[in-house]
Amino acid sequence: MDRVRLARAYVSELLDRIVRFDMHLSIVEDEFYTKLGFSGDTAAERPLFLTSFKKCVDDLLTIVVMLSEECRAIADDNAATLVMLKAKHGFLVLADLHETGLVHLPRPSEPTELKRFLRMIARHVLTRSKPDLAVYMTETTSESAFPDDPIRTLQESGGVADLIRLMNLPATGTSGSPFGEQNARGIHVTIPRIDARNPLRWPSLIHEAAHKLISADVIGASDIEQKFVSSLPDEVVAAIREVNIDLRSWLTEIWCDLFASLVVGPAFFFSQYSAFISSPSDGILNSGYPPHSLRLFLIANCQRHLYSIARTSSVRDRMASCMDLVDYWDRSFKLHIESNASMKLLADSMRLFFMEHFFGGTASEADNFRRKYDKMVRYVREICPDQLRNIQLSISEGLPVPSKPSRSGVWLAEEPTSIQEVLLAAWLDRLERLLPEGLNIASGQTTEPLNREELLKPFVKFDGAVLRSLQIAEWLHVLIDTTPSTKAATFARDCERACDEQADGEHLINDVGIARLLKSGKLRIVPLVDLEQQLGAASFDIRLGTSFEVYLPAYVRQGSSADASPDAYTARSVDLDFLQHIVLLPGEMVLAHSFEYVRLPAEVAAELDGRSSYARLGLEIHLTAGMIDPGFEGTITFEMVNNGPNPISLFPGLRIGQLRFLSVQRPMRPYSARGSAKYGRQLHHRRSLYTSDVDYQKLRSAMDQQECFAQDAAPRTSASSGLDRRGR
């Protein structure tokens, strides 16, 4: 076992957790303190506790920088073990901070993407009658599930129930509660606060949801322990009993692991791995929870059976590396499945039992889980290795990946990527690129003051690409036809033929030229929803995105007009949930962005304009800023104004504007190569950053100097004159 490699991997995981903590504190500060219209220094106005918290996290970042440097100097196994023990202590400190410190800070709103993830699991993976998965952020450091609605106890046996009886309110539903039975049918799970915006930990929520699914109608009349024991010879059962555990609890945890593993795919293995190493074992066998190494062993075995992608070298090798790190700690505490003969026998018996339970077909109809599973779960498709690599490459570049080439074979047609594909590609990119890159950045900062922005930047970029992929994917299930129409297929064939026959033009690029750029990959438009509808004679329609900046009625902080800045105006960021919309009133302006992420080649510029259908309503989608430089990439920002007399409803996903592409000579500095470029690679709109312009900063500096001169020249009252402020 290469302990140097393990030490680096463990420290990089600690870095990831500290970064998550830092990002969460920034969200709290932004949501509750920065956007309240404060004047002056925001840092000085934030609560002292938040300032102290951020200082503590900065200290932890400094410590992980020191540990990363120690990793580079490891000479033997003893040095590697010492580094890992220090890192383990760091995980324990973080857990204590999370559970005892975060209760003193307000909870930010739950991200819309997390709600979408659970809703897509309920709608497109689990065949539930309605999306009834509910998630709550908590200060605990592990995911959990409520056996019932957390408020239900109060409704039925607490103070609320007493008050209902006192008021003689009628009882409805079988529960006897006037609130009815609806709440009892939901699945209620919790997630640690710092992971609410960490999509790679979300698969573990399905394990918690499975606790609500494991019931008699799912696994059969006899409970899971009875099934397991009855499948074994008596001497094997006697040997297993020597382990001194709550066998039913162990079997239940593993059943939930394997069910979630089937639903989410290989990403669930990595999600549980992350959860396990973030909560180090205390070295004592837990009678209610199986050792981490046993759980990962059974999950990996299940994955390799169902998903062929788990048997490819790229996924298999990453699983093995993760297993090595978990095995290291379990072996250290003699909790590994090979620690003693009874534990090994138990592990092998569970593997055989669950393989038969989940994949066998010999049980009776009532006990045959496989047939029930086929009715419960859908949209779990085989993951293509080539497509997985392309998705992983896009995420590494910061691109969203809500769609992929259609299996129909229609030219340039796309279909939504599955949750399983996006999360697995993201996990592979995290392990292969993001964590090593973060550790290298950290180890390079030991001789300089800690540059937090540089350290956080790759993690923020990574999260943005993954969250955006999950955000758009739900809309694509509505916008993209599962099977392209005959008309769309015919158009695609004609377009492909024209690309081969027609030569490149100049200046304004026509439909054939646009299609050729898309085919070659020089022009990227993600997602490419409907080529037949979006491709015009010399333009390409783009859709409205999901986020908006809504400016409230005019409000400027006190001071001169020269003091005005974007932050001086009250605005509210709105991220619409699935099928929601906003209404733009006459004369009102909002910032918005395109549904598509656009990457222009260095030889192509673009112009943004509105579509005539919406122009006839009085809608303007840009204000003098319609030119897009060659080499630009990101979503396109809309400055939307309603110039008409009536309110206009705006729905994300509508084709709201169009791009015209212009062929230009290759510039010396494309947009992406300009150091002063402020709006590149954005995944949603940004407020105006005009105050970062060099000329503005020069003017402000000159004005500040002039104000200082004026103050120095003003007459001052002598301190020895004996006059007070009232001149007496």
Dig out the tokens for 598 from the structure.
Answer: 């656009």
Tokens coding 193: 């606060």
Q: Distance between CA 475 and CA 506 in Å, rounded?
A: 36
Residue 593: burial class (beta carbons within 10 Å; 0-12, 13-18, 19+)? buried
Q: Which residues of 79-90 are buried (b: 16+ CB within 10 A; e: fewer)?
A: bbbebbebbbeb
Closest CA to 459 of 142, 5, 18, 9: 18
Contacts (Cβ under 8 Å, ≥6 apart) of 482: 415
Amino acid at 72: R
Look at residue 562 and give its three-state secondary structure: helix
Amino acid at 288: G
Helix (H) or strand (E) holding 189: strand 187-192
Q: Both tokens of residue 575? A: 């991220």
Active site residue 235: no
Torsion of CA 90, 95, 97, 98, to 10 degrees: 140
- Give the Cβ contact number of residue 121 at 10 Å: 23
> Which of 213, 194, 184, 183 is CA-nearest to residue 121?
213
Cα separation of 651 and 475, whole Å? 11
CA 113 from centre of chain: 7
Distances (CA, A) of 706 to 87, 116, 221, 558: 52, 53, 84, 20
* Consecutive H or E run containing 628: strand 627-628
Query: Which ranges of 430-451 would DSSP assign to H, the alpha helix?
Result: 435-443
**What is the 3-state secondary structure of 291-339?**
CHHHHHHHHHHHHHHHCHHHHCHHHHHHHHHHHHHHHHHHHHCCCCCCC
As a whole number of angstroms, the distance between CA 23 and CA 438 comes to 15
Nearby residues of 669 by Cβ (< 8 Å), 6 or more positions away = none
- Whole-number Å distance between alpha carbons of 470 and 121: 11
Distances (CA, A) of 338 to 201, 296, 300: 28, 14, 17
Round to whole Å and give the CA distance between 101 and 50: 10
Write down the catalytic residue from 31, 496, 639, 707: 639
* 3-class DSSP assignment, residue 436: helix
- How many whole angstroms separate alpha carbon 250 and alpha carbon 328? 21
Where b means 16+ CB within 10 Å and e means fewer, 682-716 reads: bbbbbeeeeeeeeeeeeeeeeeeeeeeeeeeeeee
The closest alpha carbon to 287, from 326, 319, 321, 251, belongs to 251
Q: Which residues are catalytic?
A: 639
